[in-house]
Structures are given as C-alpha cells and as structure tokens.
Amino acid sequence: MSKPVISEVKALNTIAQDTKIKGNIESDGDIRIDGILEGDLDCKGRVVVGPDSKIIGTIRCTSGEILGYVKGEIIVKDLLSLKGSASITGNLTMGKLSVEPGARFVGHCKMIGEEKAVPEIEADEQ
C-alpha cells in the first residue's frame, strides 16, 4: 500500500489594480501586484509586477517577472524576467536575467552565483 502524497501549497497573493499600499509586505508564497506599493516587498516565492502597477521600494524574492514600473532595488535569487513593458529605475541583482525587447532599465546590474574569471582580451600588437 503506497503512502499518500502530501504537497505544500503556498497561497497566491494578489494586490488588485485599484489598491494602493503604503508600507512593507512580507510573503511566504507567491505574490502578484497590479496596484501601487510604496514600500519594500520581501517574498520567499515568485513576484509578478503587473503591467499597470507601480512599486517604489526594494523587491527581494526567489524569482520575479516585471511588466510594470519599479523605482528601487530588485534582488532576485534565481531568474529575473523583464518583459517588454517593464520600466525600472534602480539596481538589479539576480542569479539569471531575461530581458525582452522594449524593456527599459536605468541602473547597475549584477549577476550573483559562481564567480568565473573573465578572460582578458589582449590588443593585437602591430
């Protein structure tokens, strides 16, 4: 007789388009923001910033998909995906980065993970 499979289901939190939050948000599950957040977002799951959303603050998450406006630092453990409608002003730190044509970004970008030496390119002597 086999044992029943027990899986942990995390809730999907949604901040609706007509919602404005001033303050910080912490979540153990995934979260989608379609409204306005003025504060920091700490999420242990996936963050989706909708196309009409506006976030002013720091985002920390495991993976993220940005379609809207973010002014602040974004720190992602795994994959950060910037869609064509994304507009970001702030520094990005992530494990992997995917950028669609049309995405706008002003700031510094740093990929974390294994530090690999980049070979020096030597100028040809003439």
**What's the one-letter identity of residue 57?**
G
Residue 11's pLDDT band (cuts 50, 70, 90): confident
Average pLDDT in the 7-26 region? Answer: 85
Rounded to whole angstroms, the Cα distance separating 110 from 22 reads 28
Average pLDDT in the 49-68 region? Answer: 97
> Which token pair is 85?
């409608």
pLDDT of 8 > 50? The answer is yes
DSSP assigned state of 122? P
pTM, to two decimals? 0.82
